[in-house]
Chain A
């Protein structure tokens, strides 16, 4: 799932791939509050995974976002 998220961040939000690690914070990969909403929409549109922007805002690292995605996709 980390690679899936990384692909989305790189392809859809044009985040620089070398910044993206499991430990990186949203701020470190240049995700501001607007980009968090974008990411929420992209995850739903591309993968059918529903994670709200509020939940994404709570995530402290990229790894946390991956865990949220894992949880939600398991439920589907």
Chain B
């Protein structure tokens, strides 16, 4: 039984730092345009795969101050900049709010591995006594929410969740639960990730998870396409400000949309492979629909997990067909952004809200020939949308699944 049936969390602020751009407006134009941001990144050498979607045009020192930037890992840089945009967008002033009623719930798959790798090198080459005293506070995953609290005086519930590539969606669902339980009045939520390091990319490559299309980077991330061969990893952050819908109305806040349902499940099956029958992800979708008090036919759009790995897209595609046989418009924005891992659930929830708000489904970049085993309505081009409700799917290694139901404003 759903714990929060029909509860509406109003989304009043959005902030994004992704390979598609710095800023929500920039992101929305870029995903609508549908050009992939993947490129060969020489800094990932000696990883066997050096394809990635980097955040560009982002100068942490300029945006956050040189000293502050030096003492924080990029996964915190991205989130701080996205949070500043989201709060300004929400019209909330941290100088005047009751911080005890402001929560922070963010997701990340891995915290700050770049900092760990750099300091590991220092230890091996120079010795343990030269390791930075900032190693721990820079890389711990929970610092993501901790640093936002420090920045804005949010003294309410504060946590980071880790469900691998579902982390951002799990965070948003959890944040909505906190609002429903009246544990806070405002919540900053979303996800951030900065995992593009030579070591971790080598690990992903060894798993066979990554696209090897290094000779044609722009075509590498191709969700649901017959010729897909793996994901392209990305980095960045998405932050949402959420409030109870009645509170948002009472203060006259502009609302981008609502999160009205959340479903979570575990495959309990394999450390990386999804269940071949898709029953784990299906359980999350059905739980999300029940939580929203909606039948499947109410869903007009799905922002799929759609990683472009051969297995995910096949299993997810079949699951979508089974649960939503009325063929809602499906997209995977990972064709443009790559896979932002623990941040992907957050940025895709934002794209889903914007699709409902603006009445348009962004295209699935690089979808030239749909895998003929997948019989769903994947949009290769931007398409108009007339719907009130949409799903944003996120599935993590370990079989952790999180699905959000988004609603138009």
Binding site for B on A (CB under 8 A): 13-16, 30, 34, 37-38, 41, 45
**By the criterion CB–CB under 8 Å, are A14 and B132 in contact?**
no
| New A-B contacts (13) at CB < 8 Å, excluding given A14-B67, A41-B130, A41-B133 | A13-B70, A14-B61, A14-B69, A14-B70, A15-B67, A16-B67, A30-B67, A34-B71, A34-B133, A34-B137, A38-B133, A38-B134, A41-B132
Residues of chain B within 8 A (CB-CB) of A34 are 71, 133-134, 137
Q: At the interface, yes or no: B216 with Cβ under 8 Å from chain A?
A: no
Residues of chain A within 8 A (CB-CB) of B129 are 41
Q: At the interface, yes or no: B66 with Cβ under 8 Å from chain A?
A: yes
> Chain B: interface secondary structure?
helix
Name the residue on A nearest B126 (C-beta): A45
Residues of chain B within 8 A (CB-CB) of A16 are 67
Name the residue on B nearest A33 (C-beta): B133
Nearest chain A CB to B138 CB, angstrom units: 10
Name the residue on A nearest B132 (C-beta): A38
Nearest chain A CB to B126 CB, angstrom units: 9
Name the residue on A nearest B133 (C-beta): A37
Residues of chain A within 8 A (CB-CB) of B66 are 14
Residues of chain B within 8 A (CB-CB) of A41 are 129-130, 132-133
Name the residue on B nearest A9 (C-beta): B67
Can you list 6 A-B pairs with a CB-CB distance of less than 8 A? Answer: A14-B69, A16-B67, A41-B129, A41-B132, A41-B133, A45-B130
Residues of chain B within 8 A (CB-CB) of A13 are 67, 70
Q: Which 8 A-B pairs have the closest CB atoms?
A: A37-B133, A14-B67, A14-B66, A34-B133, A14-B70, A34-B134, A38-B133, A15-B67
Residues of chain A within 8 A (CB-CB) of B71 are 34
Name the residue on B nearest A12 (C-beta): B70
Q: How far is B130's CA from A37's CA once the two chains are assembled, in angstroms? A: 10
Q: How far is B137's CA from A10's CA once the two chains are assembled, in angstroms? A: 22
Residues of chain A within 8 A (CB-CB) of B134 are 34, 38
1/0 per residue B350-369: CB within 8 Å of A? Answer: 00000000000000000000
Name the residue on A nearest B67 (C-beta): A14
Name the residue on A nearest B70 (C-beta): A14
Q: How far is B67's CA from A41's CA once the two chains are assembled, in angstroms? A: 17
Nearest chain A CB to B18 CB, angstrom units: 26
Chain B residues numbered 114-143 whose CB sits less than 8 Å from any CB in chain A:
129-130, 132-134, 137
Residues of chain A within 8 A (CB-CB) of B61 are 14
1/0 per residue B233-270: CB within 8 Å of A? Answer: 00000000000000000000000000000000000000
Name the residue on B nearest A30 (C-beta): B67
Nearest chain B CB to A34 CB, angstrom units: 5
Nearest chain B CB to A7 CB, angstrom units: 15
Residues of chain A within 8 A (CB-CB) of B133 are 34, 37-38, 41
Nearest chain B CB to A53 CB, angstrom units: 8
Nearest chain B CB to A30 CB, angstrom units: 7
Q: Which has the most chain A C-beta neighbours within 10 Å: B61, B71, B133, B137? A: B133
Q: How far is B134's CA from A19's CA once the two chains are assembled, in angstroms? A: 22
Q: How far is B69's CA from A16's CA once the two chains are assembled, in angstroms? A: 13
Nearest chain B CB to A37 CB, angstrom units: 4
Residues of chain B within 8 A (CB-CB) of A38 are 132-134
Q: How far is B137's CA from A14's CA once the two chains are assembled, in angstroms? A: 18
Q: How far is B132's CA from A33's CA once the two chains are assembled, in angstroms? A: 12
Nearest chain B CB to A24 CB, angstrom units: 15
1/0 per residue B148-169: CB within 8 Å of A? Answer: 0000000000000000000000
Name the residue on B nearest A38 (C-beta): B133
Name the residue on A nearest B138 (C-beta): A34
Chain B residues numbered 63-84 whose CB sits less than 8 Å from any CB in chain A:
66-67, 69-71
Residues of chain B within 8 A (CB-CB) of A30 are 67
